[in-house]
Structure 1
Amino acid sequence: MGHGGDVVQELTTDHREVDELFQQIEKTAPGNSERKRLLDQLTIELVRHSVAEEMYLYPAVREHLAGGDNLADREIADHARVEELLKDLEERTADDKDFDRLVIKLKTEVTSHVQDEETNLFPQLANACSQSALNDLGEKVRTAKRIAPTRPHPGAPSTPPGIRLLAPGAGLVDRARDFVSGRGR
Protein backbone atom coordinates (compact mmCIF):
# COMPACT_ATOMS: atom_id res chain seq x y z
CA MET A 1 0.00 0.00 0.00
CA GLY A 2 1.51 3.31 -1.07
CA HIS A 3 0.68 6.88 -0.21
CA GLY A 4 -2.26 8.45 -1.93
CA GLY A 5 -5.98 7.90 -2.04
CA ASP A 6 -8.46 8.96 0.56
CA VAL A 7 -7.70 9.96 4.13
CA VAL A 8 -8.24 6.46 5.51
CA GLN A 9 -5.85 4.91 2.97
CA GLU A 10 -3.24 7.62 3.57
CA LEU A 11 -3.28 7.36 7.35
CA THR A 12 -3.40 3.55 7.30
CA THR A 13 -0.29 3.56 5.11
CA ASP A 14 1.38 5.79 7.70
CA HIS A 15 0.39 3.32 10.41
CA ARG A 16 2.04 0.42 8.57
CA GLU A 17 5.23 2.48 8.10
CA VAL A 18 5.32 3.20 11.82
CA ASP A 19 4.80 -0.52 12.56
CA GLU A 20 7.78 -1.30 10.32
CA LEU A 21 9.98 1.24 12.09
CA PHE A 22 9.10 -0.25 15.48
CA GLN A 23 10.00 -3.70 14.10
CA GLN A 24 13.35 -2.39 12.85
CA ILE A 25 14.09 -0.86 16.25
CA GLU A 26 13.24 -4.16 17.96
CA LYS A 27 15.53 -6.11 15.59
CA THR A 28 18.49 -3.83 16.34
CA ALA A 29 20.69 -4.71 19.32
CA PRO A 30 20.08 -2.73 22.51
CA GLY A 31 22.53 0.13 22.90
CA ASN A 32 23.32 0.22 19.16
CA SER A 33 23.31 3.79 17.80
CA GLU A 34 21.19 2.57 14.86
CA ARG A 35 18.28 2.33 17.32
CA LYS A 36 18.51 6.09 17.89
CA ARG A 37 18.63 6.79 14.15
CA LEU A 38 15.54 4.63 13.68
CA LEU A 39 13.82 6.35 16.60
CA ASP A 40 14.56 9.73 15.01
CA GLN A 41 12.93 8.52 11.78
CA LEU A 42 9.98 7.17 13.77
CA THR A 43 9.65 10.50 15.58
CA ILE A 44 9.62 12.40 12.29
CA GLU A 45 6.87 10.15 10.92
CA LEU A 46 4.77 10.23 14.10
CA VAL A 47 4.95 14.00 14.52
CA ARG A 48 4.11 14.72 10.87
CA HIS A 49 1.24 12.21 11.00
CA SER A 50 -0.14 13.59 14.27
CA VAL A 51 -0.02 17.20 13.13
CA ALA A 52 -1.82 16.33 9.89
CA GLU A 53 -4.52 14.48 11.82
CA GLU A 54 -4.93 17.40 14.21
CA MET A 55 -5.12 19.89 11.34
CA TYR A 56 -7.67 18.03 9.21
CA LEU A 57 -8.87 14.61 10.42
CA TYR A 58 -10.11 15.60 13.86
CA PRO A 59 -11.96 18.71 12.68
CA ALA A 60 -13.75 16.42 10.19
CA VAL A 61 -14.52 13.97 12.99
CA ARG A 62 -16.01 16.82 15.04
CA GLU A 63 -18.10 17.95 12.06
CA HIS A 64 -19.35 14.64 10.70
CA LEU A 65 -19.62 12.13 13.56
CA ALA A 66 -22.12 11.91 16.38
CA GLY A 67 -20.08 12.44 19.53
CA GLY A 68 -17.28 13.71 17.33
CA ASP A 69 -16.04 16.25 19.86
CA ASN A 70 -15.45 13.53 22.46
CA LEU A 71 -13.83 11.22 19.89
CA ALA A 72 -11.50 13.94 18.64
CA ASP A 73 -10.61 15.04 22.17
CA ARG A 74 -9.71 11.44 23.10
CA GLU A 75 -7.51 11.06 20.01
CA ILE A 76 -5.77 14.38 20.71
CA ALA A 77 -5.13 13.25 24.31
CA ASP A 78 -3.49 10.10 22.88
CA HIS A 79 -1.28 12.32 20.73
CA ALA A 80 -0.29 14.41 23.75
CA ARG A 81 0.90 11.30 25.63
CA VAL A 82 2.88 10.13 22.60
CA GLU A 83 4.40 13.57 22.09
CA GLU A 84 5.55 13.73 25.71
CA LEU A 85 7.26 10.34 25.29
CA LEU A 86 8.89 11.48 22.06
CA LYS A 87 10.13 14.63 23.78
CA ASP A 88 11.57 12.54 26.63
CA LEU A 89 13.32 10.27 24.11
CA GLU A 90 14.56 13.14 21.91
CA GLU A 91 17.77 13.85 23.83
CA ARG A 92 18.47 10.29 24.93
CA THR A 93 21.03 8.03 23.30
CA ALA A 94 20.40 4.38 22.52
CA ASP A 95 22.55 3.32 25.46
CA ASP A 96 20.63 5.49 27.96
CA LYS A 97 19.29 3.32 30.80
CA ASP A 98 15.66 4.37 30.12
CA PHE A 99 15.77 4.31 26.31
CA ASP A 100 14.37 0.80 25.80
CA ARG A 101 11.73 1.17 28.52
CA LEU A 102 10.49 4.41 26.96
CA VAL A 103 10.45 2.93 23.45
CA ILE A 104 8.31 0.04 24.74
CA LYS A 105 5.95 2.51 26.40
CA LEU A 106 5.83 4.53 23.17
CA LYS A 107 5.00 1.45 21.13
CA THR A 108 2.21 0.50 23.54
CA GLU A 109 0.66 3.98 23.30
CA VAL A 110 0.97 4.16 19.51
CA THR A 111 -0.34 0.63 18.94
CA SER A 112 -3.40 1.29 21.11
CA HIS A 113 -4.10 4.56 19.30
CA VAL A 114 -3.69 2.99 15.85
CA GLN A 115 -5.97 0.08 16.73
CA ASP A 116 -8.65 2.48 17.98
CA GLU A 117 -8.46 4.62 14.84
CA GLU A 118 -8.53 1.69 12.44
CA THR A 119 -11.32 -0.27 14.15
CA ASN A 120 -13.54 2.60 15.32
CA LEU A 121 -12.78 6.04 13.98
CA PHE A 122 -11.91 5.30 10.35
CA PRO A 123 -14.98 3.10 9.65
CA GLN A 124 -17.28 5.70 11.22
CA LEU A 125 -15.75 8.48 9.16
CA ALA A 126 -15.91 6.39 5.97
CA ASN A 127 -19.63 5.81 6.59
CA ALA A 128 -20.36 9.46 7.39
CA CYS A 129 -18.49 11.15 4.52
CA SER A 130 -18.73 11.00 0.78
CA GLN A 131 -15.83 9.50 -1.15
CA SER A 132 -15.12 12.94 -2.54
CA ALA A 133 -14.82 14.39 0.98
CA LEU A 134 -12.54 11.51 2.03
CA ASN A 135 -10.36 12.07 -1.03
CA ASP A 136 -10.17 15.80 -0.29
CA LEU A 137 -9.15 15.06 3.30
CA GLY A 138 -6.49 12.66 2.03
CA GLU A 139 -4.97 15.40 -0.12
CA LYS A 140 -5.08 17.90 2.75
CA VAL A 141 -3.35 15.41 5.06
CA ARG A 142 -0.59 14.76 2.49
CA THR A 143 -0.03 18.50 2.09
CA ALA A 144 0.02 19.03 5.85
CA LYS A 145 2.63 16.29 6.34
CA ARG A 146 4.97 18.04 3.90
CA ILE A 147 5.01 21.24 5.97
CA ALA A 148 4.53 19.77 9.46
CA PRO A 149 7.12 19.84 12.23
CA THR A 150 9.47 16.85 12.51
CA ARG A 151 10.18 17.16 16.22
CA PRO A 152 7.83 16.98 19.20
CA HIS A 153 6.43 20.29 20.45
CA PRO A 154 4.22 19.30 23.40
CA GLY A 155 3.23 22.88 24.22
CA ALA A 156 2.09 23.74 20.69
CA PRO A 157 -1.62 24.05 19.83
CA SER A 158 -3.29 20.80 18.77
CA THR A 159 -6.47 22.22 17.25
CA PRO A 160 -7.30 24.76 14.55
CA PRO A 161 -6.78 27.60 14.09
CA GLY A 162 -3.60 27.59 16.22
CA ILE A 163 -2.11 24.44 14.74
CA ARG A 164 -2.72 25.66 11.18
CA LEU A 165 -0.99 28.94 11.95
CA LEU A 166 2.02 27.68 13.91
CA ALA A 167 2.79 24.21 12.52
CA PRO A 168 4.23 25.40 9.17
CA GLY A 169 6.70 27.74 10.91
CA ALA A 170 7.75 25.08 13.42
CA GLY A 171 8.05 22.63 10.53
CA LEU A 172 10.35 24.96 8.63
CA VAL A 173 12.61 25.40 11.67
CA ASP A 174 12.62 21.65 12.37
CA ARG A 175 13.49 20.76 8.78
CA ALA A 176 16.34 23.30 8.83
CA ARG A 177 17.68 21.79 12.06
CA ASP A 178 17.35 18.30 10.56
CA PHE A 179 19.21 19.38 7.44
CA VAL A 180 22.10 20.87 9.41
CA SER A 181 22.33 17.92 11.82
CA GLY A 182 21.71 15.16 9.27
CA ARG A 183 18.79 13.87 11.37
CA GLY A 184 16.31 11.72 9.49
CA ARG A 185 18.59 10.75 6.61
Structure 2
Amino acid sequence: MGHSGNVIAELTGDHREVEELFERIKDLPAGDERRREIADEFTIELVRHSVAEEQYLYPAVREHVPGGGKLADKEIADHARVEQLLKDLEGTDVGDARFDVLVARVIGEVSEHVRDEEDRLFPALAEVCSPQYLDELGDRIRTAKKMAPTRPHPSAPDTPPANKLLAPGAGLVDRARDFVTGRGKS
Protein backbone atom coordinates (compact mmCIF):
# COMPACT_ATOMS: atom_id res chain seq x y z
CA MET A 1 0.00 0.00 0.00
CA GLY A 2 1.07 3.51 -0.58
CA HIS A 3 -0.98 6.20 -2.12
CA SER A 4 -0.88 9.94 -1.96
CA GLY A 5 -2.95 12.77 -0.66
CA ASN A 6 -4.37 13.51 2.72
CA VAL A 7 -4.78 11.05 5.55
CA ILE A 8 -8.37 10.23 4.63
CA ALA A 9 -7.53 9.47 0.99
CA GLU A 10 -4.51 7.40 2.06
CA LEU A 11 -6.40 5.27 4.56
CA THR A 12 -9.47 4.91 2.34
CA GLY A 13 -7.19 3.63 -0.43
CA ASP A 14 -5.80 1.08 2.02
CA HIS A 15 -9.34 -0.01 2.88
CA ARG A 16 -10.17 -0.64 -0.79
CA GLU A 17 -6.99 -2.69 -1.29
CA VAL A 18 -7.74 -4.90 1.71
CA GLU A 19 -11.34 -5.36 0.54
CA GLU A 20 -9.96 -6.53 -2.82
CA LEU A 21 -7.78 -9.10 -1.02
CA PHE A 22 -10.83 -10.25 0.92
CA GLU A 23 -12.71 -10.81 -2.34
CA ARG A 24 -9.77 -12.76 -3.78
CA ILE A 25 -9.59 -15.10 -0.78
CA LYS A 26 -13.36 -15.65 -0.81
CA ASP A 27 -13.17 -16.68 -4.49
CA LEU A 28 -10.81 -19.59 -3.71
CA PRO A 29 -12.02 -22.97 -2.44
CA ALA A 30 -11.35 -24.06 1.14
CA GLY A 31 -7.95 -25.68 1.54
CA ASP A 32 -6.44 -23.98 -1.54
CA GLU A 33 -2.82 -23.13 -0.69
CA ARG A 34 -3.18 -19.74 -2.41
CA ARG A 35 -5.45 -18.73 0.49
CA ARG A 36 -2.35 -18.66 2.75
CA GLU A 37 -0.58 -16.25 0.39
CA ILE A 38 -3.58 -13.92 0.33
CA ALA A 39 -4.02 -14.18 4.10
CA ASP A 40 -0.36 -13.23 4.50
CA GLU A 41 -0.86 -10.28 2.13
CA PHE A 42 -3.86 -8.89 3.99
CA THR A 43 -2.16 -9.51 7.33
CA ILE A 44 0.87 -7.48 6.23
CA GLU A 45 -1.32 -4.65 4.98
CA LEU A 46 -3.65 -4.62 7.98
CA VAL A 47 -0.80 -4.62 10.50
CA ARG A 48 1.05 -1.79 8.73
CA HIS A 49 -2.18 0.20 8.37
CA SER A 50 -3.18 -0.31 12.01
CA VAL A 51 0.21 0.63 13.40
CA ALA A 52 0.25 3.85 11.37
CA GLU A 53 -3.28 4.74 12.49
CA GLU A 54 -2.36 4.13 16.13
CA GLN A 55 0.75 6.28 15.82
CA TYR A 56 -0.80 9.28 14.06
CA LEU A 57 -4.52 9.12 13.23
CA TYR A 58 -5.91 8.31 16.66
CA PRO A 59 -3.75 10.84 18.52
CA ALA A 60 -5.02 13.48 16.06
CA VAL A 61 -8.60 12.36 16.66
CA ARG A 62 -8.07 12.61 20.43
CA GLU A 63 -6.63 16.10 20.09
CA HIS A 64 -8.98 17.66 17.55
CA VAL A 65 -12.33 15.85 17.43
CA PRO A 66 -14.88 16.54 20.20
CA GLY A 67 -15.27 13.26 22.06
CA GLY A 68 -12.24 11.99 20.17
CA GLY A 69 -10.83 10.05 23.09
CA LYS A 70 -13.81 7.73 23.19
CA LEU A 71 -13.77 7.35 19.41
CA ALA A 72 -10.03 6.57 19.35
CA ASP A 73 -10.38 4.07 22.21
CA LYS A 74 -13.09 2.21 20.30
CA GLU A 75 -10.97 2.03 17.14
CA ILE A 76 -7.92 0.80 19.07
CA ALA A 77 -10.07 -1.89 20.69
CA ASP A 78 -11.20 -2.93 17.19
CA HIS A 79 -7.54 -3.18 16.17
CA ALA A 80 -6.72 -5.34 19.17
CA ARG A 81 -9.46 -7.85 18.30
CA VAL A 82 -8.35 -8.03 14.66
CA GLU A 83 -4.69 -8.32 15.57
CA GLN A 84 -5.39 -11.31 17.82
CA LEU A 85 -7.41 -12.93 15.03
CA LEU A 86 -4.52 -12.31 12.62
CA LYS A 87 -2.09 -13.88 15.10
CA ASP A 88 -4.36 -16.92 15.40
CA LEU A 89 -4.66 -17.10 11.60
CA GLU A 90 -0.90 -16.88 11.18
CA GLY A 91 -0.51 -20.07 13.24
CA THR A 92 -3.29 -22.01 11.52
CA ASP A 93 -2.70 -24.30 8.56
CA VAL A 94 -4.78 -23.53 5.48
CA GLY A 95 -6.15 -27.09 5.55
CA ASP A 96 -7.45 -26.70 9.11
CA ALA A 97 -11.19 -25.89 9.30
CA ARG A 98 -10.36 -23.08 11.77
CA PHE A 99 -8.53 -21.25 8.98
CA ASP A 100 -11.77 -20.46 7.16
CA VAL A 101 -13.54 -19.52 10.39
CA LEU A 102 -10.71 -17.10 11.26
CA VAL A 103 -10.69 -15.59 7.76
CA ALA A 104 -14.45 -14.99 8.00
CA ARG A 105 -14.06 -13.37 11.42
CA VAL A 106 -11.23 -11.12 10.20
CA ILE A 107 -13.32 -10.05 7.20
CA GLY A 108 -16.34 -9.32 9.40
CA GLU A 109 -14.39 -7.35 12.02
CA VAL A 110 -12.40 -5.36 9.48
CA SER A 111 -15.45 -4.58 7.35
CA GLU A 112 -17.31 -3.21 10.37
CA HIS A 113 -14.26 -1.19 11.44
CA VAL A 114 -13.85 0.28 7.94
CA ARG A 115 -17.50 1.35 7.82
CA ASP A 116 -17.17 3.00 11.22
CA GLU A 117 -14.03 4.91 10.25
CA GLU A 118 -15.39 6.02 6.89
CA ASP A 119 -18.87 6.93 8.15
CA ARG A 120 -17.99 8.55 11.49
CA LEU A 121 -14.31 9.12 12.21
CA PHE A 122 -13.07 10.46 8.87
CA PRO A 123 -15.92 12.99 8.45
CA ALA A 124 -15.46 14.17 12.06
CA LEU A 125 -11.73 14.69 11.50
CA ALA A 126 -12.26 16.45 8.16
CA GLU A 127 -14.73 18.81 9.81
CA VAL A 128 -12.26 20.11 12.40
CA CYS A 129 -8.85 19.93 10.68
CA SER A 130 -7.39 22.07 7.94
CA PRO A 131 -6.60 20.53 4.55
CA GLN A 132 -2.92 21.25 5.21
CA TYR A 133 -2.99 19.34 8.50
CA LEU A 134 -4.78 16.39 6.85
CA ASP A 135 -2.06 16.37 4.15
CA GLU A 136 0.66 16.36 6.83
CA LEU A 137 -1.06 13.44 8.56
CA GLY A 138 -1.17 11.60 5.24
CA ASP A 139 2.61 12.03 4.89
CA ARG A 140 3.17 10.78 8.44
CA ILE A 141 0.94 7.75 7.85
CA ARG A 142 2.81 6.83 4.65
CA THR A 143 6.17 7.10 6.43
CA ALA A 144 4.93 5.06 9.40
CA LYS A 145 3.66 2.26 7.15
CA LYS A 146 7.13 1.89 5.59
CA MET A 147 8.66 1.26 9.04
CA ALA A 148 5.79 -0.68 10.61
CA PRO A 149 5.77 -4.36 11.53
CA THR A 150 4.32 -6.80 8.99
CA ARG A 151 3.25 -9.46 11.47
CA PRO A 152 0.72 -9.24 14.28
CA HIS A 153 2.12 -8.41 17.72
CA PRO A 154 -0.98 -8.37 19.98
CA SER A 155 0.98 -7.59 23.13
CA ALA A 156 2.84 -4.60 21.63
CA PRO A 157 1.88 -1.11 22.85
CA ASP A 158 -0.81 0.57 20.75
CA THR A 159 -0.53 4.18 21.91
CA PRO A 160 2.24 6.81 21.79
CA PRO A 161 4.95 7.18 22.80
CA ALA A 162 5.75 3.48 23.30
CA ASN A 163 4.31 2.37 19.96
CA LYS A 164 6.38 4.95 18.08
CA LEU A 165 9.53 3.76 19.82
CA LEU A 166 9.04 0.00 19.47
CA ALA A 167 7.23 -0.44 16.14
CA PRO A 168 10.21 0.39 13.87
CA GLY A 169 12.37 -2.26 15.56
CA ALA A 170 9.64 -4.88 15.29
CA GLY A 171 9.11 -3.81 11.68
CA LEU A 172 12.78 -4.33 10.87
CA VAL A 173 12.74 -7.83 12.37
CA ASP A 174 9.48 -8.70 10.59
CA ARG A 175 10.75 -7.49 7.21
CA ALA A 176 13.96 -9.52 7.67
CA ARG A 177 11.89 -12.64 8.46
CA ASP A 178 9.67 -11.95 5.45
CA PHE A 179 12.71 -11.57 3.20
CA VAL A 180 14.20 -14.88 4.35
CA THR A 181 10.91 -16.80 4.04
CA GLY A 182 9.59 -15.05 0.92
CA ARG A 183 6.39 -14.12 2.77
CA GLY A 184 4.36 -11.40 1.07
CA LYS A 185 6.27 -11.60 -2.23
CA SER A 186 3.52 -13.14 -4.36
- Please give the range of the TM-score, normalised by the shorter of the 2 chains: over 0.9
What percent of counterpart residues are identical?
Answer: 64
Long gaps (5+) in structure 1? none
What residue is the counterpart of 2:6 in the other structure?
6
- Counterpart in the other structure of 2:15: 15
User: What aligned pairs does 1:67-106 form with structure 2 within 5 A after superposition?
Assistant: 67-106=67-106
d(CA) in 2 for partners of 1:60, 1:78: 18
Match of 1:178 in 2: 178
Q: Over residues 106-145 of structure 1, what are the superposed CA-to-partner deviations in whole Å (9 max), with x where a residue is unaligned?
A: 1010000000000000001001100000000000000000
Q: Which runs of 5+ in 2 are unaligned?
A: none
Aligned to 1:144: 144
SS at match of 1:99: helix
CA distance in 1, matches of 2:97, 2:61: 40
What secondary structure does 2:150 align onto? coil
Aligned equivalent of 1:38: 38
Give, in angstroms, the shift of residue 28 of structure 1.
Answer: 1.1
Once residues 45 and 28 of structure 1 are traced to their aligned partners in structure 2, the CA distance between those partners, rounded to angstroms, is 20
Q: Give the 3-state SS of the residue equivalent to 2:126 in structure 1.
A: helix
SS of structure 1 residue aligned to 2:97? coil
- Cα distance in 2 between the residues matched to 1:96 and 1:148: 29
Matched residue type, 2:164: R
Once the two structures are TM-superposed, the CA of residue 102 in structure 1 deviates from its matched residue by 0.8
Amino acid at match of 1:38: I
Structure 1 residue ranges, 4+ long, deviating more than 3 angstroms after superposition? none
Q: How does 1:58-69 map to 2 (within 5 A)?
A: 58-69=58-69
What amino acid sits opposite 1:6 in the alignment? Answer: N
Q: How far has the Cα of 1:92 moved from its partner?
A: 1.2
Q: Could you tell me how far 1:29 is from its partner in structure 2? A: 1.4
What code does the residue aligned with 2:37 have? R
Q: How far, CA to CA, are the matches of 1:176 and 1:26 in structure 2?
A: 29
Contact in 2 for aligned 1:44/1:184 (Cα 8 Å) = yes
Matched, 1:52 2:48: no
What is the Cα deviation at residue 94 of structure 1?
1.2
Matches of 2:65 and 2:127, distance apart in 1: 9
Q: 1:44 & 1:60 partners in 2: Cα distance?
A: 24
Contact 1:33/1:93 (CA < 8 Å) preserved in 2? no
- TM-score if structure 2 supplies the norm length? 0.98
1:123 equivalent to 2:123? Answer: yes
Is the contact between residue 56 and residue 137 of structure 1 (CA under 8 Å) also seen in structure 2? Answer: yes
Checking the alignment, whether the CA contact within 8 Å between 1:150 and 1:171 is kept in structure 2 is yes
* Residue 160 (str. 1) matches residue 160 (str. 2): yes
1:122 and 1:95 map into 2 onto residues whose CA distance is: 38
The code of the aligned residue for 2:97 comes to: K
Work out the number of aligned pairs and report it: 184
Please give the alpha-carbon distance, in whole angstroms, between the structure 2 residues aligned to 1:107 and 1:118.
Answer: 16
